[in-house]
Amino acid sequence: MLLCARAPHRKRNLAPRNGVNKKRIRSVRLAALLAIVIGFLATAPANGATVVFADTFEDGSVSDWIRSTNFAGTSAITASAKAHSGAFGLETYLEVPPPSDTNLFVRASHGFVAPVTATYPLDLWARSTICSGCVISYDVILDGASLARTSVSTYQQRSFILNGLSAGAHTLTLGMFTTVAHTGHFFAAFDDVSISTVVAVPEPAGYLMLLAGLGFIAGMARQRASAV
């Protein structure tokens, strides 16, 4: 009798419970979707990187770069086939210095404007050349301050973080430096130079919300699968 009396009661409450469960499922599903949307918005960069200055030298010209040197003989800056990518790279070189000349440089400079005071990554590829009995390096200089003086005979990728670069005009200088080089063609070469703004770093909380939302969705999928 007890079972018979309770059975209809269960049936009467079953529909409302399912209704509550459906509402709960819808609420959880909505919360999960909101978490995913908020997480996505929080993880998406607020703004993409903006290129402040770039040169691949693929126009075959370096006429927009300014040469400077302390060598009295033959020197040049040119778009040459010494490229990391494409057909052209920037080459700075001098020819046949006398043994008595030391600390020679040939440089190419280019101005750029930082739109705001901020941190700017500077990326480029660079190499110097082999020198027997002497040293040849490539120079990377910003506003007259050395960022790198490196001797390497194959192209290498370099990245510099220009911290707190003030808004306004600046000068990037690339070039070769040599000590006691003589009787040869001495160069440093560069390619794919770029200065850009920093891409916004996603907030960790955004990733957590995104993962939470995905977790909810996965959980719901498992529940539905087990219910079937």
* Residues in touch with Ca ion (CB under 5 A): 56-57, 83, 85-86, 191
* Minimum CB distance to Ca ion smaller for 32 or for 126: 126
Residues recorded for the chain: 228
Closest approach, Cβ 90 to Ca ion, in A, equals: 8
Task: Measure Cα distances from 9 to 23, 85, 124, 167 in Å.
Answer: 22, 79, 77, 76
Task: Measure Cα distances from 64 to 89, 177, 180 in Å.
Answer: 14, 21, 30
Query: Residue 183 carries which DSSP code?
Result: S
Closest approach, Cβ 53 to Ca ion, in A, equals: 15
* Minimum CB distance to Ca ion smaller for 157 or for 223: 157
Closest approach, Cβ 108 to Ca ion, in A, equals: 14
Nearest to 179 by CA among 115, 88, 100, 104: 104
Question: Between vectors from CA 64 to CA 61 and to CA 69, what angle results, nearest 5°?
Answer: 95
What's the rounded Cα separation, in Å, for the pair 91 and 62?
A: 9
Tokens of 184: 């040869």
* Minimum CB distance to Ca ion smaller for 86 or for 111: 86
Closest approach, Cβ 111 to Ca ion, in A, equals: 20
* Minimum CB distance to Ca ion smaller for 71 or for 125: 125
Closest approach, Cβ 85 to Ca ion, in A, equals: 5
* Minimum CB distance to Ca ion smaller for 54 or for 130: 54
